[in-house]
Copies of this chain bind each other. A is one copy, B any other.
């Protein structure tokens, strides 16, 4: 008996966790996976499909009818429903349409609303299910209504009661830990008015940048945040578990961008798309490598007379590339984390230049000695030492200036900065090394 069946049997009585099922499915090889898919409890199909890495999505939805899928989609919260339909549209538009049409009208309206938002807008991440009450309501009644919704499974993971007026405009956010100690016989307004400042909600609007929302969650240690429209009308909420996912995705994006990769394409089942996008990056890199080679070509006759230069020159370029990547990575990451403030640009550049100058001097000495002993030519050591200093210095300078400049121009500093940097360290490395050699050795 496989582990999934074991798990399902053991938890027949209590709540099943879709993520647990997804984990067990992930550990199966392809054949057992296809068998096991059918033992996923019907009401959890959509939930499990969303929990698995993207490449499994197609296998799962193929194994069930549009009606079965629609049933399970109904169990999801609106943000997940929207994600599901959108992911399904990408691989099978017709089935997506069928599933959508099989949903309740109310769900359809929510999905259509959420789909309008762009990836970077807060609205794209909210769920429309919120626990709301009117200021004039009695606390007792509010809690009674809540109990009913809770029993009908309409609300999950509630931590805040959002208090609105008759136009659905958001006025206050009351943590359940506060609601619990309110005077139940009074109205919300009466309770809140004892200390209204305390209940002023920290909110975002639906078109706000999701990055700003993530920063607010971290700044104010929130568990959930209401989303309103431009007029202050309550539209939905974003919860901390969404934020965890977004933070992970942002970090993945950053790492991938630095290496010339595209997050979406890499998660796709179709490796062709990933290959194509990787090739674009490699093409840009090829051009910069050719530029570096042209620089080397300028010194053809120098290379011909001192072949040791050809042997040593990759060392200068490689050390510059590595030192530059160190500076670049620190600056890109600290910019993303908000650790580099506006007036900090100069301090950051100074720090990076100092660090790389220090290491430049150190490795100039080491490599200078190694080169002069290796090729028994003192002046060769001087040449490689000097060019090492020049190259590491420019690595530190450009490794910090490039991302800072891109950031100032509102371009993602993780994209493209690597390629600019290695072009600089290659060109400066080869040019300084071979140029100095031409001046000093010939």
Contacts and interface: CB of A to CB of B under 8 A. Distances in A.
Interface residues of A, number: 112
Given A221-B157, A311-B300, A248 B247 contact: yes
Nearest to A422: B318
A426 interface: yes
A240 B223 contact: yes
A239 B159 CA distance: 13
A286 B329 contact: no
Contacts of A304: 304, 307
Interface stretch (A63-71, A96-104, A363-371, A404-412): A363-371
Given A221-B241, A241-B218, A297-B311, A259 B157 contact: no
Considering the complex of A and B, which 10 residue pairs feature the smallest CB-CB distances, nearest first? Answer: A251-B251, A14-B197, A310-B310, A147-B181, A221-B241, A259-B329, A176-B176, A19-B219, A240-B240, A158-B177
Interface stretch (A84-92, A113-121, A353-361): A353-361
A283 B27 CA distance: 40
B314 A282 contact: no
Contacts of A219: 17, 19-20, 23
Contacts of A198: 14-15
A355 B23 CA distance: 27
Contacts of A325: 259-260
Contacts of A243: 244
- How many copies of the polypeptide does the oligomer hold? 2
Q: Secondary structure at chain A's binding surface: helix, strand, loop or mixed?
A: helix
Interface string A12-27: 0111010110010011
Contacts of A271: 351, 354-355
Contact of A14 (B200, B261, B286, B367): B200
Contacts of A367: 286
Nearest to A27: B341
A286 B315 contact: yes
A290 interface: yes
A181 B146 contact: yes
A394 interface: no
Contact of A275 (B53, B254, B358, B422): B358
Looking at A158, A282, A323, the one whose CB has the most chain B CB atoms below 10 A away is A282
Interface in A271-322: 271, 274-275, 278-279, 281-283, 285-286, 289-290, 292-293, 296-297, 300, 303-304, 307, 310-315, 317-319, 322
